[in-house]
Amino acid sequence: MENTKKFRREPLTDTQLLMTITIGIFFAMYLIAMAVLKGGFLRPQQIFDMLNDNAPLIITSCGLTIVMIAGGIDISVGAVTSLVVMSCVLYLNRGGNIFVSVLLALGIGLAFGLVQGYLISYLEIQPFIVTLAGMFFARGLTTILSVNPQKAEHEGFAKLRDVKIEISWLGYVAKNGNRIPARIELGVVIALACVLIIFLLLKFHKLGRGFYAIGGNQQSALMLGINVKRTRFITYIISGLLSGIAGYVFMMHTGAGNATNAAGMEMNAIASSIIGGTLLTGGVGNVVGTLFGTLTLTTINKIVVSSGLKDPWWQKITTGGMLCFFILLQSIVLSRRSKKKQS
């Protein structure tokens, strides 16, 4: 009997269950695309291209996941990312230093995180209102800096932007007979490092457990001795810093700044977090699920384009449909689990 109890498997938590469902759906969709549409889906470079194009979104989604786990929301992340891109491009074009430009990106993100976090956590203003104001403020500052697109012409930054990790054995042979190696941009490495660090924070650190506690039940968190205001404040600081990092990664990917950069990124980040298993009500979520939520969203959009529906509104319709599907799925799964626990 003792051995049976010792090796008995613990049931999955809500976070683990929703993350597992997301990962399963992603692999199922990708395998279907490989079997039906073929083409680029048969090459590993397709996965790498999805990561290359969405590295900034992965980073901002991770920050938003932390905020949502703690029961908050931040819709300024896309605008802050855009402001960081434009500020760093203009600074570098005036002969700036690359290291200082990184500090500038982190500083802008940190400033928004500090101000918004203080207003939400200590003055108890609604997060949606505060971050909406932050979004308008950041968009306005970006337009003031420059209305016209600005290309990063800094020689040192151009070398940094061109850095790519090549994996020859995962490449493919082109029609002319040349072997094309698989390429991963430096931004993907940064994005995956952010995912790993935040995963470890949420899994093993007392602060991460505090995020789940205040998102699950604020009163219970207070009774456990958790400083709710300070913990919530830290979530917005992390989200701001990650928006700054995402802005620099975005600039490394595009090599240019534009007033419309990262437009709609905040909505895509929310969608990626929800698809990845993060609840808007808080207390449930995981950045690994968010990573696969981003890839799932991207895979669906690529399937839509490969099917011949190349008009942009089809992708928006698909994103909306996917979001509704996963919200409904979360509701059904969690309600059934709660009934089982009660019975």
What's the confidence (pLDDT) of residue 2? 47
Looking at the domain 14-334, which fold is it? ABC transporter involved in vitamin B12 uptake, BtuC (1.10.3470)
Lowest-pLDDT choice from 115-124, 143-152, 221-230, 307-316: 307-316
- Helices marked H in the chain — which ranges? 2-7, 14-36, 44-69, 77-93, 98-121, 127-145, 155-161, 186-204, 206-216, 218-223, 228-254, 265-275, 287-306, 312-342
What's the confidence (pLDDT) of residue 342? 62
Predicted confidence (pLDDT) at residue 70 exceeds the cutoff of 90:
yes
What's the confidence (pLDDT) of residue 332? 79
- Model-level pTM? 0.91
What's the confidence (pLDDT) of residue 336? 67
Nearest alpha carbon to residue 247 among 83, 73, 112 = 83
Predicted confidence (pLDDT) at residue 10 exceeds the cutoff of 90:
no
Looking at residue 259, the DSSP 8-state letter turns out to be T
Predicted confidence (pLDDT) at residue 7 exceeds the cutoff of 50:
no
